[in-house]
Amino acid sequence: MKRKASDVVPVHMTPVVSGGYSPALSLYKDEGALSVSISGDSVLVDGEAFSYTGDKSLSLLAAEIKRTLPEIEARPLMDVAPASDSLLVYPNDLTIDGGTVVRYMGMAVRVTERTRIRLLKPHNDGPDSAWWGRINRGSIRTEHAGVTYTFSVPEYHNQSWSTTFGAPYKEYGGVEASVVDTKTIQLPRYPVLWPGPLTITRNGKPLQSSIIEDVSSHNGRVYLNTDVGLNDRILVDFVYEEENYVYKGVNLNPTIQHSPYLIDRFVVFYLVPERSDAGLRNKTCVRHTIGDTLEGAISELAKGVSEQTPIVLLGAIRTRQVEDAVDVDVYDARRPGGGVKEEVDATARESEAWFYADIGNYDGRPYPGNAVVIVKLPSNVKTVFTEDQVQDRVRDHIALGVVPIVDYD
């Protein structure tokens, strides 16, 4: 039976079971033993007492501990103001990275603000992917010329959601994760649905799910019980929670394969009203303009909108070159006689390494310098075909020398 989103309770909304109480604070010490205990309404850290009552939040408590004991790292895991006798410490209760856990004997509620609508930067998907701006959901009202207008983001609900879990979850697959250390990888999008489907491929070889020790849902960290190399190419498939509207009206990636015309230009995002008490109705409210200057982009806002209709300016994004040629790292993957060194996975560092004419592909791959096409497909295609099979079918229908980029919604 197909599960609905309401049937799934993400792990970050349930307490970690250790007496049934949620972790509230973690404490670390690089050298020597760390002593943490609770005495009355104080946390004792290496014999130093820190009161946690009087409307003091855990963030303030952590900052106070770090100021007083610089050798101690204190991290708040929730931002509540504990009441009297509401913290406790269990013996040998540690985080996965060795921190001592202080737990909170109470319920914590996360309140999602819905009164502001903001422009957010794209997901950190890397230079080869499309960069889509995101709009934080919200709802605001304003009165103009005697008419009440409501601004919101109705498009959020019409995005392509996971076919298994439904909204607000999206399936994301075949994407590269970064290696943080030998036993930790970083997913590009989060919060992550965990427990949930998560598969890992290292250098083209699928890994068993048993290598996953734990997943930090909030920050997209995956902790492993086996080593990975810093130069390994890690691809992952997972499900994450999309809290915002991903606006696909303009690709903000200014590279040659995507939107080179946007380099050093301004993209201004704005809202038109969703409805008014005078009968106005809009199903799509997020829009954008592009200009060589910020003033030029703003001057285009009113086009296509009645002068009597108010608009909300969300913000602007400008992509610029921030590095010089001297900042580029060079890796020589050539071997005498032509070709790529066998011990070097050149495509792991540069996805188009095989397209270069000077590595000696004798009678080999064509140089794809003629054009680039973007093929948009629904993500559920990957339930029928692998990404390699999709790429093969796409190449069967395009001319030689054309680079295909497959974009999954």
Across residues 388-406, what is the average pLDDT?
A: 80
Tokens 């004419």, located at residue: 357
Higher-confidence residue of 40 and 135: namely: 135
Residue 337 has pLDDT above 80, yes or no: no
Q: Identify which has the larger pLDDT, 131 or 81.
A: 131
Largest CA distance in the chain: 78
Q: What is the mean pLDDT of residues 67-92?
A: 87
Higher-pLDDT residue of 325, 189: 189
For residue 284, the model assigns a pLDDT of: 92
Structure tokens belonging to residue 303: 């086009």
For residues 287-314, give the mean pLDDT: 84
Domain boundaries, the chain: 18-104, 133-155+247-318, 169-241, 332-408
pLDDT recorded at residue 364: 56
Position 401 scores a pLDDT of 66
Which pLDDT belongs to residue 37?
Answer: 93
* 370 alpha carbon, distance to own chain's centre: 33
Query: What contacts 331, CB < 8 A, 6 or more positions away?
Result: 344, 346, 349
DSSP secondary structure, 348-365, as one string: HH-TTGGG-GGG--TT-P
Least-confidence region, from 27-41, 146-160, 161-175, 329-343: 329-343
The predicted structure's pLDDT at residue 355: 60
% of the chain beyond a pLDDT of 70: 81
Pairing of strands 42-45, 234-241: unpaired
CB contact at 8 A, 254 and 262: yes
Q: Answer yes or no: is pLDDT of 17 > 50.
A: no
Average pLDDT for residues 271-283, to the nearest whole number? 92
Query: Is 249's pLDDT higher than 70?
Result: yes
Segment among 13-17, 122-126, 146-150 with least mean pLDDT:
13-17
Q: What percent of the chain has pLDDT over 90?
A: 33
Peptide bond connecting 273 to the previous residue in cis, omega within 30 degrees of 0: no
| Residue 8 clears pLDDT 80, i.e. is over it | no
Is the pTM higher than 0.85? no
The stretch 352-369 carries a mean pLDDT of: 56
pLDDT for residue 4:
37
Given a cut of 60, is residue 271 above it in pLDDT?
Answer: yes
> For residue 334, what pLDDT band results from cuts at 50, 70 and 90?
low
Buried b (16+ CB within 10 A) or exposed e, 216-255: bbeebbbbbeeebeeeebbbbbbbbbbebbbbeebbbbbe
Mean pLDDT value of segment 63-73: 89
What's the mean per-residue pLDDT of the chain? 82
Judged by average pLDDT, the poorest of 232-236, 259-263, 266-270, 303-307 is: 303-307
In degrees, to the nearest 5, what angle opens at C-alpha 202 toward C-alphas 196 and 206?
60
* Interval 194-226: pLDDT, tens: 888 999 999 989 999 899 988 888 888 999 998
Question: Do 48 and 39 contact (CB within 8 A), yes or no?
Answer: no
pLDDT for the residue 2: 36
